[in-house]
């Protein structure tokens, strides 16, 4: 029989996702494992693959639309199936007295498919209470935030289910909106600016950075690293190596070696416990058109400089093409943010929780230094370590930064 395709939970705790594009048109044959659509998460684009074979019957959602997790997005027909009442199929799978979400306080029956394809057959009948109110999770959350009683509202969704638009309508008619104080943008003449809606990725970045800066007690340590030996070794390697090694590749390798040698700093903070990571999983900040993303070089302390270089190049390319898998950018034990290639001399980065530290790397610059009372030229790179004081004390952070400086200034030691 025909099967409803539903929006999967492509990222942990996600309530919505964007259907970026359909890769199958209505009437196209679908084989098991075929990509049906591309789903945009807050960080990347993932494929929605078919669990069963059939024919693409109807696309219920247009490309670019934001969809609630679990909502029907399409219909897959069985091969040879021609006479199917798709509207009835959708209606039969809509929330009703036998398969609606449970009321607040009960075990939630909201469907979060572990598979992309969920059968459209009705769920077995369940014992329901006359007082139960059927509402979507988003509607319940908004009603709670706005102090609305769901029992007094009439739903406009399938079978009377209360949905987001019902909450918005009730909230707008409950009381007049408070007077809004004019802002600078509100006083600007129309046409002086263009408003670009926030992407899911930009919203996530804003939320996480605000949370980090507001709740984590940051402190900062800065060190200057002499770069003459590293630059000379890099030039020697690149003279014969098939892949050109960047300064950033050396930095990631040095970070990994330092985390191996000072494991007390390879930690993360949670409210319940301290996480002591077994490997140096180094997240490398990559700038994309949609925002910043941090793909991870896993167990970097076990990998050679050449392998690290190849992985970073591959991860960065796929990050800019929004083709990273969630496991390639979620997690990590430490982050590196390098703005040296943009000519930035020095900056401080914001910690990416639950990690406890991030290294901000500036440009290598020619400066004058004094050695043995003699002024001479030197190539110096300034690095600033941002640290979560709950997880790492000042002395330990200084120890880590000193060990990192030694690796950078004696680059052969990090290659052994």
Tell me the CA end-to-end span of the chain in Å, nearest whole number.
61
Instruction: Please tell me the distance from the alpha carbon of residue 108 to that of residue 128, in angstroms, as a whole number.
Output: 13
Start-end of CATH 3.30.559.10 domains in the chain: 201-415
pLDDT in tens, 190-216: 668 888 888 777 888 888 899 999 999
Lowest-confidence segment of 53-57, 81-85, 176-180, 348-352 by average pLDDT: 176-180
For residues 284-304, give the mean pLDDT: 94
Instruction: Please tell me the distance from the alpha carbon of residue 177 to that of residue 38, in angstroms, as a whole number.
Output: 39
Residue 297 CB contacts under 8 Å (≥ 6 apart), including other chains: 252, 256, 281, 282, 283, 284, 303, 308, 311, 312, 315
pLDDT band at 114 (very low <50, low <70, confident <90, very high): very low
Beta strands in 33-149 (DSSP E): 35-40, 45-49, 54-59, 65-68, 72-77, 117-118
* Nearest 10 degrees: Cα torsion 28, 32, 36, 41: 180
- 389 has catalytic annotation: yes
In this prediction, residue 301 carries a pLDDT of 97
pLDDT in tens, 361-373: 999 999 999 988 9
pLDDT band at 43 (very low <50, low <70, confident <90, very high): low
Look up the CATH architecture of domain 201-415.
2-Layer Sandwich (3.30)
Look at strands 3-6 and 357-371 and give their pairing.
unpaired
Instruction: Please tell me the distance from the alpha carbon of residue 396 to that of residue 357, in angstroms, as a whole number.
Output: 12
In this prediction, residue 80 carries a pLDDT of 73
Geometric angle at alpha carbon 308, from 306 and 309, rounded to 5° = 65
- The pTM assigned to this predicted structure is 0.64
Pick the catalytic residue: 16, 171, 279, 389? 389
The answer to whether residue 124 scores a pLDDT higher than 70 is no
Fold of 3-131: OB fold (Dihydrolipoamide Acetyltransferase, E2P) (2.40.50)
Looking at residue 61, what DSSP letter applies? S
Geometric angle at alpha carbon 61, from 56 and 64, rounded to 5° = 120
Domain 133-176 is in which class? Answer: few secondary structures
Beta strands in 106-195 (DSSP E): 117-118
Start-end of CATH 2.40.50.100 domains in the chain: 3-131
């Amino acid at each position: 029989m025909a099967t409803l395709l539903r929006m999967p939970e492509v990222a942990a705790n996600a309530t919505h996702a964007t259907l970026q594009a359909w890769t199958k048109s209505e009437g196209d044959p679908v084989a098991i494992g075929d990509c049906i659509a591309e789903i945009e998460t807050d960080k990347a684009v993932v494929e929605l693959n078919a669990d069963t074979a059939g024919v693409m019957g109807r696309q219920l959602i247009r490309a670019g639309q934001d969809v609630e997790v679990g909502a029907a997005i399409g219909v897959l027909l069985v091969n040879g199936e021609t006479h199917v009442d798709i509207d009835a199929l959708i209606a039969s799978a809509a929330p009703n007295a036998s398969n609606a979400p449970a009321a607040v306080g009960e075990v939630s029956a909201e469907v979060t498919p572990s598979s992309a394809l969920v059968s459209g057959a009705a769920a077995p009948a369940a014992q329901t209470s006359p007082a139960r109110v059927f509402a979507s999770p988003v509607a319940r959350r908004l009603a709670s935030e706005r102090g609305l009683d769901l029992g007094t509202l009439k739903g406009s969704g399938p079978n009377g289910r209360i949905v987001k638009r019902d909450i918005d309508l009730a909230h707008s008619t409950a009381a007049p909106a408070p007077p809004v104080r004019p802002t600078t943008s509100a006083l600007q003449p129309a046409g002086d600016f263009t408003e670009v809606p926030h992407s899911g990725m930009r919203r996530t970045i804003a939320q996480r950075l605000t949370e980090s800066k507001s709740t984590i007690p940051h402190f900062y340590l800065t060190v200057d690293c002499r770069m003459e030996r590293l630059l000379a070794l890099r030039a020697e390697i690149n003279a014969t190596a098939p892949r050109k090694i960047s300064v950033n590749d050396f930095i990631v390798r040095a970070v990994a070696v330092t985390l191996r040698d000072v494991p007390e700093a390879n930690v993360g903070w949670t409210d319940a416990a301290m996480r002591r990571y077994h490997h140096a999983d180094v997240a490398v900040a990559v700038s994309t058109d949609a925002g910043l993303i941090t793909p991870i070089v896993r167990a970097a302390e076990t990998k050679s400089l050449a392998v690290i270089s190849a992985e970073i190049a591959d991860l960065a390319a796929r990050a800019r093409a929004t083709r990273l898998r969630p496991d390639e950018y979620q997690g990590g034990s430490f982050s590196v943010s390098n703005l040296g290639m943009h000519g930035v001399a020095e900056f401080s980065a914001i910690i990416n929780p639950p990690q406890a530290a991030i290294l901000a790397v500036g440009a290598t610059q020619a400066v004058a230094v004094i050695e043995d009372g003699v002024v001479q030229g030197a190539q110096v790179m300034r690095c600033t370590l941002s640290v979560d004081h709950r997880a790492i004390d000042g002395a330990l952070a200084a120890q880590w930064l000193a060990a990192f400086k030694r690796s950078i200034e004696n680059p052969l030691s990090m290659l052994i």
